[in-house]
Structure 1
Amino acid sequence: MTFPCLVESYLRLLWTVISLILGWNVAGAGAGTGLYPGPYFPSWQPRNITVHQDTVAYLPCTVMQLGDKSVSWVRQHNADMLTVDHYIFVRDQRLSVHYTPDTSTWTLVIKYVQERDAGTYECQVSTEPKMALLVHLNVIVPQVEVVGAADKYVQLGSTARLQCTVSSTVQLPDYIFWYHSDDRLLEYSHPRLSIATARRGGQGSEMSVTSTLTVTDARESDGGNYTCLPSNLHPATTRLHVLTDEHPAAMHTGAGRLGPPPSVWVLLLPLMLLV
């Protein structure tokens, strides 16, 4: 239990003892008859919420001794009234409000969170003057990328290394899977493959994790799309081209096709000179 909670519990106990000594009826106390004269926000509730884009954001607001007052959620930057009690006042199906009687908590729920949803939200109580609790929503856009160009080239029989980096996350993924086309790559079933994971940062610095897929003795069948898929995040894809000795020019053209053979140019050259 945090220090503010201990103080609050102590004050409540002290008020109860004083009430019992003076003969006040606290057993049936309602709104405005406890330690506070009316509705109040407990000091322990969170004021900053951070979520990933496309996930669900839960913004809680606990109001004690509410009585007959209403609770509203307002988006601060444009003063939009989002909800009043259980009613939604905007045409956004992503928004809803959930009330938990046991804790007297009104939670604003935002599904499929976008960057534009970031900002400060006010939980207002219809007292006079109005009471407001500010909750700030941070929306993080995770970065998942395969390092380097979208198309990668490797010579037949050589080693290919693909690196997938995950950064700008609230929490690093529990795992990163690799797929070749639609087949998940497992080291024990692919002896020429190895997967290594390295983490960087922590303790206040930005964290990232890199998964490296190594393919030794590359074969033509190793060519195709490779996808890295972190847990609870979007995938990233690259395409591997395995070049044979007969087609080295594909590495430079990126098209995997060669021009006409030399014999064709020998036939065309005299005609070009005559023009």
Structure 2
Amino acid sequence: MQVLLGIFLYFMVYPDVSHQMDSGYYKYEEEQTSTTTTPGVPLEHTSLRGPYFDTTASKNVTALVGKTAYLNCRVRNVGNRTISWVRHRDIHLLTVSGYTYTSDQRFSCLHKPQNEDWTLQIKYPQKRDSGIYECQVSTTPPIGISMYLSVVEPITQVIGGPDMYINKGSTMNLTCIIKHSPEPPPAIYWLHNTEEINYDSPRGGVSVITEKGDVTTSYLLIQQAELKDSGKYSCSPSNADVASVY
């Protein structure tokens, strides 16, 4: 009876913790720090819950090349445990609490006292920084949550370029698409040669339609095309490179 009672208490004190080492993701229930019971009071009301992750945030983060990236890890009931960030590609310890443990000073952990957020900051990210990063808590055994960072460079393209031919008197329809942008460009400028196109010019018949989304599309429409409308047309998003057509 003593042996069986010992086994029962072990499973009451240490909840099930399963690990998926290939993905770096630890699935956990909770850490019980007290098993003292009071007559007539359920065990869950007298035990204290250990650290656990707020899993409502997205596990996929997209950042622009050269623009600071942030991976946020929110941990509840952290207590006196430490929070670490690890890069999976080379199993490299990047930060522990507020200290950086890598010679690459682009990496740092942002945290304010009494705050539950531990944010990995990566300055001047490059495409090579894409991959899995894990936020770990120093429980026994450790628990962690993985996030995937995609560092992308927006692509701007004018469909049908680089050379296009339009008949005189027809409607010119130039289509510009912007892909791989974390957010739609706040503004898109169209230029004719080196001058920004004025949609309210006396010429008339010039308009732009823009549809924003995961892929942003901007249509430049010029009715009754004339010889003077020939030349270089450029699509210039405010957060991506310029693309041109002739």
Give the TM interval when normalised to the shorter protein. 0.5 to 0.7
TM value normalised by structure 2: 0.66
Where does residue 192 of structure 2 map in the other structure? Answer: 180
User: Is 1:210 aligned to 2:235, yes or no?
Assistant: no
Q: Secondary structure at the match of 1:191?
A: coil
Distance 1:53 1:43 in 2: 25
- 1:160 touches 1:218 (CA, 8 Å); kept in 2? no
Compared CA separation, residues 176 and 80, structure 1 to 2 (3 A): same
Q: Between Structure 1 and Structure 2, which shows a larger proportion of helix residues?
A: 1
Where does residue 74 of structure 1 map in the other structure? Answer: 86
Where does residue 227 of structure 1 map in the other structure? Answer: 234
Which of 83, 86, 104 is residue 92 of structure 1 equivalent to?
Answer: 104
Give the partner amino acid of 1:122.
E
User: Is 1:142 aligned to 2:136, yes or no?
Assistant: no
Give the partner amino acid of 1:197.
I
Distance 1:44 1:181 in 2: 50
User: Is 1:163 aligned to 2:163, yes or no?
Assistant: no
Compared CA separation, residues 139 and 190, structure 1 to 2 (3 A): farther
1:22-61 pair list within 5 angstroms = 35-36=48-49, 38=50, 40-54=51-65, 55-61=67-73
Distance 1:65 1:34 in 2: 13
User: Is 1:236 aligned to 2:243, yes or no?
Assistant: yes
TM superposition shift of 1:140 = 4.6
1:82-121 pair list within 5 angstroms = 82-121=94-133
- 2:133 touches 2:149 (CA, 8 Å); kept in 1? yes
Compared CA separation, residues 155 and 94, structure 1 to 2 (3 A): farther
TM superposition shift of 1:148 = 1.6
TM superposition shift of 1:144 = 1.6
TM superposition shift of 1:164 = 1.1
Give the partner amino acid of 2:48.
L
TM superposition shift of 1:229 = 1.9
Name the Cα RMSD after superposition.
3.4
- 2:185 touches 2:239 (CA, 8 Å); kept in 1? yes
Give the partner amino acid of 2:219.
S
Q: Secondary structure at the match of 1:187?
A: coil
Percent identity over paired residues: 33
The superposition leaves residues 101-150 of structure 1 with CA deviations (integer Å, 9 ceiling, x where unpaired) of 34221100123433332222111223332222222223454332011232
Give the partner amino acid of 2:197.
L
The superposition leaves residues 182-231 of structure 1 with CA deviations (integer Å, 9 ceiling, x where unpaired) of 4221210252551232549x8xxx654232242644334x4443221224
Q: Secondary structure at the match of 2:76?
A: coil
Q: Secondary structure at the match of 1:82?
A: strand
Which of 176, 201, 207 is residue 189 of structure 1 equivalent to?
Answer: 201
Give the partner amino acid of 2:150.
N
Question: Gaps (5+ residues) in structure 1?
Answer: 1-17, 23-32, 241-275
TM value normalised by structure 1: 0.60
- 1:98 touches 1:109 (CA, 8 Å); kept in 2? yes
